[in-house]
Amino acid sequence: MSAAATPVRGEHDVLSTLEIAQAAKSAARVLAPLSEPRRNAALEAMAKALEGASAALFAANAEDLKVAGSLTGDEVLSAATLARLKLTEGKLREMVEQVRSVMALPDPLGRTLDAVELDDCDPERSKTQISHSTIAQGNDNKKTSGLHMEKISVPLGVLAVIFEARPDAVTQIAALAIKSGNAVILKPGREVERTATALVRVLRAALEAEGISASAVSLVLGRERVNELLAMHSLVDMVIPRGTKKLVEYVQANTRIPVLGHAEGVCHIYVDRAADEEIALRVIDDAKTDYPAACNAVETVLVHAEIAAEFVPKLAERMRERGVVLHGDVVARAMMGLQSALPVDAWHMEYGELEMAVGIVPSLDEAMEHIHRHGSVHTESVITEDAEVAERFLREVDAASVMHNASTRFADGFRYGFGAEVGISTSKFHARGPVGLDGLTTYKYVVRGAGHVAGDYRGAQGRAFTHRRASEAR
């Protein structure tokens, strides 16, 4: 493995993880108040720089591929991983297009999420203040009188993203971060270290040329750096693990920093007794076979007992045509002509391939009970023509996405119209379900007064708050 010895050079060689994180925090402070045109100009510079640096990028990628090719034994990469790792002309073009498409998204920052007039009057001023007020009028021409609160979207600060063998993850994540005014620290998988280093070098140069600190996009290499990052809860505002269930669970268990992501997607489709059979078959087929490795693919189908004898054999036939391996509870197995016993943990399994479990339930309530017991609060769908059943399912099932007569595969940022997807969250906090640029923002309350003090609003003789929302403004 001589190729592996080629050193990977970057700022990560000379700076500690702490220094990198501190520099990222400083860069984030400068990035946050930048106007949208400035942030978009940085994205355009990044796109152009990538186009201009293709030779260096392909050279770095060739080194990664050479190392990958020299691996032996357990370390040998799958064909799929090698394909993801390889940077092609087409892939680089797509990466550049993706940066420009993030640029075209609406600005997630500075949106007014709420606006309340707390009082419509200014406090009385003493005579000595008249001169000051006169000075003020020149500067402050958009100011209205009174006390006003606005809730404004702002960036989170510093993101740490831990990902695997994809070169395109570097440019996509960097673009999302810059668009949303966040600094980002990237930790790529070992396989893609040389390509990631070359990409980050190009992006940093582009940022600097636009007068933005290169520390807005940083790289760290090596597994020990992950643990250092996870401990920095005063510098890193969010960790986004993009990878295997094992990686996500490791990150969740080893940091106090909020984690955006999901460890698993065990999605269900419940076929009600009032289901349209054709819809049920179409939707299950799509939800299982459209992209079985996706987290929003279906893993378990629950069928109402009243229609099971008719429906389950048809489902089994359709699934077998599509090459799906089936499991089932004792009743479903009989209906599907299966001999094999139900695997242990079959109901908790994210198969991630053409494999699926079928269960028979006596009622909607039992179906929901099964989903709550075994599901991962990701995406759950009901197939029924009974509007009451549909509404109960949509209302009562606790999951990030709930669907009626539609494939679980629609739970996706692009399909929901968010433009770009940061990930899918099964947390109930901050961002739930498919997460777009908004998931990389928080908000702050901005209060504008003219010397207003809380003591004036105290007790029976105190002033009363007006609490008018913008829509109710006079």
Q: Find the binding residues for a second copy in span 413-432 (CB under 8 A).
A: 415-417, 427-430, 432
Among 4-12, 152-160, 193-201, 312-320, the segment contacting a second copy (CB under 8 A): 152-160
| Single residue of 3, 77, 279, 338 touching a second copy by CB under 8 A | 279
DSSP secondary structure of 51-90: HHTHHHHHHHHHHHHHHHHT--GGGPPPHHHHHHH---HH
- The answer to the question of residue 322 lying near a second copy (CB under 8 A) is no
- The answer to the question of residue 285 lying near a second copy (CB under 8 A) is yes
Cα-Cα-Cα-Cα torsion 113, 415, 315, 300, nearest 10 degrees, comes to -50
| Single residue of 228, 276, 329, 366 touching a second copy by CB under 8 A | 276
In the complex, minimum distance from the CB of residue 116 to a second copy, in angstroms, rounded to a whole number: 5
What character string, x for contact with a second copy (CB under 8 A) and - otherwise, covers 10-49? -------------------x--xx----------------
CB atoms within 10 A of CB 97: 11
Are 195 and 221 within 8 A, CB to CB?
A: no
Among 181-189, 322-330, 337-345, 383-391, the segment contacting a second copy (CB under 8 A): 383-391
- The answer to the question of residue 249 lying near a second copy (CB under 8 A) is no
Distances (CA, A) of 110 to 34, 335, 338, 441: 10, 57, 58, 10
- Sequence-distant (6+) residues with CB within 8 A of 244 are 164
| Single residue of 44, 107, 210, 277 touching a second copy by CB under 8 A | 277
In the complex, minimum distance from the CB of residue 341 to a second copy, in angstroms, rounded to a whole number: 28
Scan residues 357-376 and list those touching a second copy (CB under 8 A). Answer: 372
- The answer to the question of residue 72 lying near a second copy (CB under 8 A) is no
357 pairs with which residues across the strands?
300, 327
Q: Choose between 313 and 451: whose C-beta lies nearer to a second copy.
A: 451
Cα-Cα-Cα-Cα torsion 412, 249, 87, 436, nearest 10 degrees, comes to 30
- The answer to the question of residue 211 lying near a second copy (CB under 8 A) is no
Are 178 and 42 within 8 A, CB to CB?
A: yes
Scan residues 426-465 and list those touching a second copy (CB under 8 A). Answer: 427-430, 432-434, 442-455, 457-458, 465
Backbone angles phi, psi at 442, to 5 degrees: -125, -155
In the complex, minimum distance from the CB of residue 358 to a second copy, in angstroms, rounded to a whole number: 19
Q: How many whole angstroms separate alpha carbon 317 and alpha carbon 283?
A: 15
Closest CA to 356 of 408, 425, 412, 306: 408
Closest CA to 302 of 324, 344, 273: 273
Q: Choose between 9 and 458: whose C-beta lies nearer to a second copy.
A: 458
Closest CA to 100 of 54, 49, 46: 46
Closest CA to 436 of 416, 454, 453, 459: 416
Q: Choose between 198 and 235: whose C-beta lies nearer to a second copy.
A: 235
In the complex, minimum distance from the CB of residue 228 to a second copy, in angstroms, rounded to a whole number: 19
- The answer to the question of residue 411 lying near a second copy (CB under 8 A) is yes
Q: Choose between 76 and 446: whose C-beta lies nearer to a second copy.
A: 446
381 pairs with which residues across the strands?
269, 403
| Single residue of 72, 78, 126, 339 touching a second copy by CB under 8 A | 126
Q: How many whole angstroms separate alpha carbon 402 and alpha carbon 393?
A: 8
Backbone angles phi, psi at 427, to 5 degrees: -80, 155
Residues in contact with a second copy, counted by CB under 8 A, come to a total of 94
Q: Choose between 69 and 291: whose C-beta lies nearer to a second copy.
A: 291
- The answer to the question of residue 392 lying near a second copy (CB under 8 A) is yes
- The answer to the question of residue 405 lying near a second copy (CB under 8 A) is yes
- The answer to the question of residue 98 lying near a second copy (CB under 8 A) is no
Q: Choose between 73 and 459: whose C-beta lies nearer to a second copy.
A: 459
- The answer to the question of residue 136 lying near a second copy (CB under 8 A) is yes
